[in-house]
Amino acid sequence: MSASSKIDSYELLLTQMEALLVSNWVSNLANASALLWEHFHTQQKPQSEVNWAGFYTYNSSKQILELGPFQGKIACQIIEIGKGVCGTSVQKKQTQLIVDVHEFPGHIACDAASNSEIVVPILSENQEVLGVIDIDCKEINGFDQVDQKYLERLASLLASKFEN
């Protein structure tokens, strides 16, 4: 699969997501998980080896990440800020593009099959964390700058419809 078709597929995903947005945050994350799963599984390796695609939402009163809608196998329900790839992404308010999760200090292994991961923070207009997009891949080096760019655009789109 060429780089342009990966880009085309992401562009389609964003167009579809925009059309699907409703006022319910959980509904949006649920359909976004389905679109992400579909997107990755129309790609070639390593992206077709994505084994988890979904969301953690930020509970500001408890200051933890809580499991949201996803596609894949059962996952950890609670992640502390600063812990693992998701918790680090929230603490730094930055995307974490992890080539090999086994080299990430304090990696939380929900699914032993995962070898690489990308986590993108979902930030409000005033830079408050609303949650994260979390994608795991069975292959090492599953994600690149193209994924980062488009997943950050997806995060912005989802943030625009946030309601608590």
Of 20 and 99, nearer to its own copies (C-beta) is 20
Strand partners for 118:
97, 135
Nearest approach in angstroms of CB 41 to its own copies is 11
Q: Is 34 in the site for its own copies (CB under 8 A)?
A: yes
Burial 58-96 (b: 16+ CB within 10 A, else e): beeeeebbebbbbbbeebbeebeeebbbbbbbbeeeebb
Of 84 and 97, nearer to its own copies (C-beta) is 84
- Degrees, nearest 5: CA angle 19-24-27: 70
Binding-site string for its own copies from residue 73 to residue 112, where x marks contact by CB under 8 A and - marks none: xxx-xx----------------------------------
Nearest approach in angstroms of CB 49 to its own copies is 18
Q: Is 31 in the site for its own copies (CB under 8 A)?
A: yes
Closest to 161 (Cα-Cα) out of 31, 35, 62: 31
Contact 18, 44 (CB under 8 A): no
Contact 117, 98 (CB under 8 A): yes
Q: Is 30 in the site for its own copies (CB under 8 A)?
A: yes
Which SS3 state, helix, strand or coil, does residue 147 take?
A: helix
Of 38 and 80, nearer to its own copies (C-beta) is 38
Of 69 and 84, nearer to its own copies (C-beta) is 69
Spatial separation of the C-alpha atoms in residues 106 and 92, rounded to whole Å: 15
Q: Is 66 in the site for its own copies (CB under 8 A)?
A: yes
Residues found near its own copies in the complex (CB under 8 A): 16, 20, 22, 24, 26-27, 30-31, 33-35, 38, 54, 57, 59, 66-75, 77-78
